[in-house]
Amino acid sequence: MSGFAALVARDLRLVWRRPGDVAVVLAFFVVATTLFPLGIGPEANVLARIAAGVLWCAALFAALLSLDRLFAADFEDGTLDLLLLAPWPLELAALAKCCAHWIVTGLPLALLAPFLGVAFGLEPGVLLALAATLLVGTPALSLIGGLAAALTLGARKSGALLALLALPLCVPTLIFGSGAVEALATGGDFGAHLAVLAALALVALATTPWAIAAALRQAGE
C-alpha cells in the first residue's frame, strides 16, 4: 500500500510543479461550455435542457486532453520501467496513476461544473445534482481513459487514437451522467440513474487496472 500512496503523491507533486497543465484543462472546460450559451443565444428553455449534456461532454473532452501524457511521460523518461520493476502489483500502480489523474482533473471539473451551470440557467438543486453525477462518473472516465492511454502508448498520433478508443467506451457513463441530471429536471428517477452511474464506475474500477497493467507490460517489452 505504501507504494500506491507514494505513486499518487509523486504524480500530484509533478502536477504541482507544472500547474499550467491542469490549468489548461480547466480553462478548456470553462471556455468550451460558455461557448454554448453564447452560440445558442439567451433562450433559457433550450439552454436548461441541453446544459447537462453539454457540461458532461465538455468534461469528457477536458479529461481526454490530459490523458495522453498519463503514461507517455513515464514511458519516455524510463520511469515506467521502475514501475514495472516495483515489487508490488502493477495493477495497483495503474490504479494509482488513474487515481492521481482523477484528483487533478475529475474532481476539479465536478467542483467547477455547478458554477458553469449558472450560465445555462439551471436551478440550484439541479446544479448540485450535476456536481454529484460528475463526482460519481468522472472516476470511470479516468479509468477508461487510462486504459486507452496505456493501449496507445508508443503509437504515433497517440492523442487522436486515444480519443477514438476512449470516447465510445465512455458513452454509457455519459448517457447516465447527463440522464440523471435531466431526470431530476423532468421529474424522473434521479437516484436510479445515479446508481447505474456508480455501478459503471465500479465496473471500471474492477476491470480496467488489470487491462492497463497488461497493456503497460506489453509496452515495456
Which residues of this chain interact with other proteins, rule CB under 8 A?
2-3, 6-7, 9-10, 13-14, 17-18, 76-79, 81-89, 220-221
As a whole number of angstroms, the distance between CA 178 and CA 195 comes to 13
Which one, 6 or 171, has the nearer CB to other proteins?
6
169, 107 in Cβ contact below 8 A? no
Which one, 2 or 45, has the nearer CB to other proteins?
2
- Please report how close the Cβ of residue 53 comes to other proteins at its closest, in angstroms: 37
- Please report how close the Cβ of residue 2 comes to other proteins at its closest, in angstroms: 5
**DSSP letter string over 106-130?**
HHHHHHHHHHHHGGGT--HHHHHHH
- Please report how close the Cβ of residue 83 comes to other proteins at its closest, in angstroms: 7
- Please report how close the Cβ of residue 112 comes to other proteins at its closest, in angstroms: 25
As a whole number of angstroms, the distance between CA 75 and CA 152 comes to 12
> What does the CA dihedral 78, 84, 88, 90 come to, rounded to 10 degrees?
110
Which one, 77 or 123, has the nearer CB to other proteins?
77
